[in-house]
Amino acid sequence: MKKVIAIGGSNSKKSINKTLATYAANQLKDSEIMVVDLNDFDLPIYGIDLENEKGIPEEAIRLDNLIDAADGLVISLAEHNGSYSVAFKNAFDWLSRINQKVWKNKPMLLMATSPGGRGGATVLQTAKTSFPHLGGNIVADFSMPSFHNNFSEGKIVNEEINTDLTEKIHLLQEAM
Ligand SMILES: Cc1cc2nc3c(=O)[nH]c(=O)nc-3n(C[C@H](O)[C@H](O)[C@H](O)COP(=O)(O)O)c2cc1C
């Protein structure tokens, strides 16, 4: 069994990105999926002074260990004002202080979705540019626009989009 972590890049309890990441990860064969909810990691706002005073929080180390133990990563990023959500960026910043290779070269399916027509394309592009410098091994990326039109009752209802995602999931499967 492969170990796969699905991360929604948001602290919304009803995160559509967590939903999409979980949906995609669950399509992987012979894989044990662990869904990471950022709400379960109680992290203070990153600051160099806090780090110097108190060191790296245990919760950041716990998240780092989960990534370390994974064979593959499925990440779907929420877009807030064209960028990462604060919750995601904060966790990301803490992780980068443990190990600059945050994503540890684990094969990654990188996604974004939003209720709007651009599907988080801006944050996805940012991450595609940045993650490779931080140990990101992005084997496929995928943006799903208009989440609420295209995802219903636990699945993607737009056939073309689903076929596209299925191909991307295969790429991750082959890379793990
Ligand atoms: C502060 C804030 C800024 C947002 N900015 C964007 C944006 O730049 N682009 C976009 O597509 N959606 C934006 N949205 C809408 C989010 O895409 C939407 O809230 C989505 O549900 C976030 O994903 P999540 O459910 O996984 O948290 C914004 C939402 C908030 C609360």
Task: List CB contacts of 7: < 8 A, sequence separation 6 or more.
Answer: 18, 21, 35, 36, 38, 73, 74, 75, 76
CATH number assigned to the domain comprising residue 115: 3.40.50.360
pLDDT of residue 15: 98
Q: Which pLDDT value is given to residue 108?
A: 98
Total domains in the fold of the chain? 1
Residue nearest to atom 8 of ligand 1 (CA): 81
Number of separate helices (H) and strands (E) present in the chain: 7, 9
Q: Quick one: what percent of the chain has pLDDT higher than 90?
A: 100
Q: Which residue has the tokens 């995802």?
A: 151
Q: Calculate mean pLDDT across residues 113-139.
A: 98
Q: Tell me what the pLDDT averaged over the chain comes to.
A: 98
pLDDT given at position 134: 98
Taking residues 81-85, what's their average pLDDT? 98
Token pair in block for residue 140: 């496929």
Contact (Cβ atoms closer than 8 angstroms) between residue 76 and residue 18: yes
Q: Provide the domain limits for residue 93.
A: 2-175
**CA–CA distance, 10 with 23 (Å, rounded to integer):** 16
27-51, pLDDT tens digit by residue?
Answer: 999 999 999 999 999 999 999 999 9
Confidence of residue 84 (pLDDT cuts 50, 70, 90): very high
Question: Which among 37, 38, 79 is the best mutation to test ligand 1's pocket, defined by most ligand atoms within 8 Å of the CB?
Answer: 79
* pLDDT recorded at residue 49: 98
pLDDT for 112-122, tens place per residue? Answer: 999 999 999 99
CA distances from 71 to 6, 36, 173 (A): 11, 15, 10
pLDDT value at position 135? 98
Average pLDDT for 148-165: 97
**Residue percentage of the chain with pLDDT more than 70:** 100
User: Is the distance from the beta carbon of residue 116 to the nearest atom of ligand 1 less than 6 Å?
Assistant: yes
Mean per-residue pLDDT, 149-161: 96
DSSP letters spanning 142-160:
EEESSHHHHEETTEE--HH
C-alpha 86 to ligand 1 mean position (Å): 11
Q: How many CA atoms lie within 13 Å of 163's alpha carbon, on the beta-carbon side?
A: 3
